[in-house]
């Protein structure tokens, strides 16, 4: 799942997936959620900028394509 979060992360709808850690955040490696590697958050954390989101989106799409 690739989720383009935008500039204001509103991820409450993802709560059933149990992605949040004990501090309430979601740990990511690049765009991939650490505890659920099938989920990528584009525009979240380190990719939260126009340039970063474009670059992160390309990288996430490539990673997903490799896994398929």
Q: Residue 58's pLDDT is what?
A: 83
Q: What is the pLDDT of residues 23-68, one digit of tens each?
A: 988 898 888 899 998 888 877 666 666 666 677 778 888 888 888 8
Is this structure's pTM higher than 0.85? Answer: no
More reliable by pLDDT, 19 or 64: 19
Positive or negative CA dihedral for 42, 31, 46, 59? negative
Residues 6+ away with beta carbon under 8 Å from 19: 11, 26, 33, 35, 36, 39
Phi, psi of 34 (to 5 degrees): -55, -45
For the four alpha carbons of 6, 11, 17 and 22, in that order, the dihedral sign comes to positive
């Amino acid at each position: 799942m690739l989720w383009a979060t935008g500039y204001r992360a509103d991820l409450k709808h993802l709560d059933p997936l149990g992605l949040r850690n004990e501090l309430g955040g979601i740990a990511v490696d690049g765009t991939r959620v650490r505890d659920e590697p099938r989920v990528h958050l584009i525009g979240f954390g380190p990719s939260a900028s126009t340039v970063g989101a474009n670059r992160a989106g390309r990288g996430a799409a490539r990673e997903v394509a490799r896994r398929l």
